[in-house]
Amino acid sequence: MAKKRINSFIGRIINGNSAEVLSTMESNCVDLVVTSPPYDDLRNYTKDSAWSFDSFKKIAKQLYRVMKDGGVVVWVVGDSVIKGNKSLTSFKQALYFQQVGFNMFDVMIYEKAGTSPPHKKRYFNAYEYMFVLSKGLPKTIHLIEDKPNKWANHSTFGNVTRREQDGSLTPKGKKVIKPFGVRTNIWRYNNGKGFATKDKIAYEHPAIFPEKLVEDHVISWSNEGDVVLDPFCGSGTVAKIATALKRQWIGIEISKEYCEIAKKRLGLECTEQ
Ligand SMILES: C[S@@+](CC[C@H](N)C(=O)[O-])C[C@H]1O[C@@H](n2cnc3c(N)ncnc32)[C@H](O)[C@@H]1O
């Protein structure tokens, strides 16, 4: 089947199944994916959304094909607990991504400031995984430096040195410690109603992720003008943040109802595939 040029997808919320929509897209054209798929069958999104490991596999293969070399996929996912047993679907997906060719660049943690409801026999769950997958090694990395340094504005105690190839040390003098250093790979966000976004309409979708989480990933793994895709775009969080950060974007969503929510949130027309 002849593939369509990326330009015909840009700036659209496309109502369809991602496996099918992606199969019509040319190869090597997407810089970044930030997305959160359905988690097992934790939520019955709509009758349109039959989610299975087979659906995941089709989408994973298509994602690998449409990503540019060095492109990054951020896959935000949690597990359900069935009769006291964690599903570990997240791990199975991670391993399958490697099987189709992705590099697992990092396994990051999204720590939620608001935990799930208390359980009598289990510690409160307060995290999800953020798998950072890349096609080869990431071509764009802008690490966020916002971790306050304890010794900010102090000089290093001794001289800083550089080890040369022959093993000798070259003195580089003392250095003043910067106010902020690179953050760790555990990111904490306020989630839930009123925190994830200020857009009231977005809460008509039951499982949105925080705008700030998306913003931090878009900054970390892309440049202005890059193409950012969300194949499970729900209420359109990724499209909103990509626009604000001057990236091009594509959203795909299987539910017409959620397409309408995203369309209203972004002020767009919903297009049938
Ligand atoms: C966890 S939600 C994503 C929410 C989104 N991150 C936001 O902030 O609004 C997952 C979405 O994937 C959609 N979905 C499920 N299966 C799909 C498929 N095969 N293709 C496209 N969308 C799908 C669901 O309808 C749901 O809206």
Distance 259 CA to ligand 1 centre (A): 10
pLDDT, average across residues 254-272: 86
Determine contact, residues 133/102, Cβ cutoff 8 Å. Answer: yes
CA of 255 to the centre of ligand 1 (A): 8
Sort residue 47 into left (φ over 0), alpha (ψ -120 to 50) or beta.
alpha
- Give the model's confidence band at 254: pLDDT under 50 very low, under 70 low, under 90 confident, else very high: very high
pLDDT of residue 210: 96
Tens digit of each residue's pLDDT (9 = 90 or more) over 173-232: 888 989 999 999 999 999 888 889 998 999 989 999 999 999 999 999 999 999 999 999
Q: Residue 270: what pLDDT?
A: 53
At residue 216, the 3 state secondary structure works out as: helix
What number is the average pLDDT over the span 126-143? 97
Asked if residue 47 has pLDDT above 90, the reply is no
Q: Whose CA is nearest to atom 26 of ligand 1?
A: 234
pLDDT of 108 over the 80 cut = yes
Q: Domains along the chain?
A: 6-144+183-272 (3.40.50.150), 146-182 (no CATH)
pLDDT band at 122 (very low <50, low <70, confident <90, very high): confident
In the structure encoding, which two tokens stand for residue 92, read together?
């199975």
pLDDT of 153 reads 87
Of 197, 238, 254, 272, the one to substitute when testing ligand 1's pocket (max ligand atoms within 8 A of C-beta) is: 254
Residue 217 CA to residue 184 CA, distance in Å, equals 13
Cα(154) to centroid(ligand 1), Å: 48
Please state whether 52 falls in left (phi above 0), alpha (psi between -120 and 50) or beta.
beta
Rounded to 5 degrees, φ, ψ at 41 are -115, 40
91 token code pair: 């791990």
Q: Is the pLDDT of residue 38 over 60?
A: yes
> What are the pocket residues of ligand 1 if the criterion is a CB atom closer than 6 Å to any ligand atom?
17-18, 36-38, 45-46, 49, 51, 55, 205, 207-209, 231-232, 234-235, 237, 252-255, 258
Q: Which of 253, 260, 266, 272 to mutate to test the pocket of ligand 1 (most atoms within 8 A of CB)?
A: 253
